[in-house]
Amino acid sequence: MTEMTYREAICLGLTEALDEDPRVYLMGEDIGPYGGAFAVTQGFWEKYGSRRIKDSPLSESAFVGAGIGSAMVGLRPIVEIMTINFSLLAIDQIVNHAAKVRYMSGNQFSVPMIVRTVTGAGASVAATHSQSFEGWYASVPGLHVVVPSTPEDALGLFRTCREMADPVMFVEHILLYGYKGEVSDSIKIPLGKADIKKEGKDVTIISYSKMVHNALEAAEKLAQEGIDVEVIDLRTLRPLDVETIVNSVKKTHKAIVVEETTKFGGFAGEVVSIVQQEAFDYLDSPVYRVAGEDVPIPYSMPLEKLAIPDTNRVVAAVKNIFKKSV
């Protein structure tokens, strides 16, 4: 076991990919001499050179499209879009090309490409830089969507993503880069396998990415009041581990889904639908959602904090669900 930050885990995953597979190259904005907007690729340009670390122009559609083309002819590009907000400029390439090439070519071509990007609010970078669109991409057949919450999950999932024959959206939260955790040296995590971060018997909290940490903090507070919370980290949105979710709810009989983005149209609604359909007879109360406010994320830090779910809101939701249980 080695302690490392979330940033260091991703950096290690990229280093392994470059060292072990000559088909791998990195491409994105400011990933070269600058070292990346979030310092993940510091030193890479000096170590691997401009042939494998490619600084791109500010044109997400162009460099994602170049990544798709190179993947189709045998390379394994790892493309960095600075934030998921900017992925909208490449959404046609991602959704209509990367995700569909295998199907539309009759399995003659595949796109083994990883798109690394950054999601989430909390850094006071205002409305157009603070959105969470990973749930959108989870609705697209042909894409894998990975949302690690810890250094170990980041490295373990990345190692698996390197082997995928189809495109992956590897979504990192902006506030997690400095988060530290123990990482097993040989860790490798399959996609579509959720992790029970904390076992419990009274209520299930289902979440992913940064909100997993809020859920765990809420579980600690609720334990002081005699409420035993089970916390599930989805880890991947597509594929989704339905079995772990349903089995947990059948045990606890209560469920809350926590995510950072707005409630209306959020991925949490999909999870709620699955729970209602697959575990309805086991529920003692409605399935609750804790999500962001239905507003663009404010630049003002105090207002931004009000727009994002926090630990206290999760605690309040759990207490409310017990009031409504039958």
Active-site positions read 60, 129
Q: Which of 252, 273, 274, 269 is nearest to 318 (CA)?
A: 252
Written as one string, the DSSP assignment of 84-115 is GGGGGGGHIIIIIIITTHHHHTTTS-----EE
Q: Which of 157, 145, 155, 147 is nearest to 235 (CA)?
A: 147
- Written as six digits, the tokens of 234 are 């989805």
- Written as six digits, the tokens of 9 are 């885990």
- Written as six digits, the tokens of 151 are 């250094």
d(C-alpha 45, C-alpha 52), whole Å: 8
Q: C-alpha angle 11/90/124, rounded to 5°?
A: 60
Which residues are bridge partners to 205 per DSSP? 231, 256
d(C-alpha 146, C-alpha 104), whole Å: 24
- Written as six digits, the tokens of 219 are 């579980």
